[in-house]
Amino acid sequence: MKRTALEKQLRKRAEAMGLEMVFVREGGAHTIWRIGSYQFSIPRHKDINEITARAILDGAKEAK
């Protein structure tokens, strides 16, 4: 999955829950984001492994 597509899906999920996807900081090879209380990192690569992308999306479902 492309990183831009993953970020777009995460923003849509956040918006659907009435929350906002907020940039926290840049890490060494990851970008740190937050949706509500759920903080997660997205690897800074063009293509992200499908398993990793699915885990990030599944975690975002539990954001409050």
DSSP per position, 2-51: BHHHHHHHHHHHHHHTT--EEEEEE-SSEEEEEETTEEEEEESSSB--HH
Question: Percent of the chain beyond pLDDT 70?
Answer: 100
Rounded Cα distance, 22 and 1, in Å: 21
- Domain range summary for the chain, segments of one domain joined by +: 3-60
Q: How many CB atoms lie within 10 A of CB 8?
A: 11
Quickly name the fold that domain 3-60 has.
Metal Transport, Frataxin; Chain A (3.30.920)
CB 57 within 8 A of CB 48: no
Mean pLDDT, rounded, for 28-42: 95
Confidence of residue 9 (pLDDT cuts 50, 70, 90): very high
The pLDDT mean for the chain works out to 94
Give the predicted TM-score (pTM) of the model.
Answer: 0.90
